[in-house]
Amino acid sequence: MEEEKRKKVLLELARKAIEKTLANNRLTITPLSEIIDIEKEKELAEILEEKKGVFVTLKKSGQVRGCIGTISKDEIWIQVQKYAVFSAFNDPRFPPVEKEELKDIKIEISVLDDPKDIKNIEEIELGKDGIIMEIGGKGGVLLPEVAVEYGVKTPQEFLEMLCRKIGIPNDSWKKAKIKKFRTEKITE
């Protein structure tokens, strides 16, 4: 029960953050106390205050319309609001979301578990593991579903894809620090 309520609250916070930003033209964080009764729902409040990395993906007609997030940990209820807004208005791949199209947008939240160092790329399970790569002051992230969406066949291909995203040569992953992670997906 708490788990279903948590998902509902996080999706509500994400949507409200985008709506408030459209109305006020600035990021407005909704206090948790406006969504739940913190005194009566202490267990839920504690779950929402867990510190995790979060990515928020916006989809319109099944296509990505924005996706931004962070591997840095902060309280989930705050992260979801910030990155919902950043996905809607700051993803450089897309124009800012317009008020009229918000009704057609579905929100997906990916809550990251703790990343784990890998020693061998065969440890990466395509479709289940996302990857984080750091090399020479540059870095990037690919969520687990990216491998499936793009038909990636091997861990090497997945790492090469991340190299291209970062803007480094395809084989740079061989000298990079690589971590894998799993996500909990919450969707409208």
Q: Looking at residue 90, what is its pLDDT?
A: 96
Q: Looking at residue 153, what is its pLDDT?
A: 97
Q: Looking at residue 173, what is its pLDDT?
A: 96
How many structural domains are present in the chain? 2
Same domain flag for 30 and 100: yes
Instruction: Give CA–CA dist 86/137, Å, rounded.
Output: 23
**H-helix segments, the chain:** 2-24, 42-48, 76-89, 144-149, 155-166
Q: Which residues of 61-181 form beta strands (DSSP E)? A: 63-75, 105-112, 116-117, 130-135, 138-142, 177-181
Q: Looking at residue 13, what is its pLDDT?
A: 95
Residue 188 inside a domain? The answer is no
Tokens of 49: 């205050």
**Chunked in runs of 10, what are the mean pLDDT values of the chain (188 residues)?**
86 95 90 86 89 97 95 95 97 95 97 96 97 95 94 97 95 96 96
Q: Looking at residue 1, what is its pLDDT?
A: 62
Pairing of strands 183-187, 105-112: antiparallel
Same domain flag for 99 and 128: no
Residue 121 inside a domain? The answer is yes
Q: Which residues form the domain of 73?
A: 2-112
Same domain flag for 52 and 122: no
Same domain flag for 125 and 78: no
Enter the pTM of the model.
0.89
Here the CATH number for the domain that contains residue 142 is 3.30.1490.150
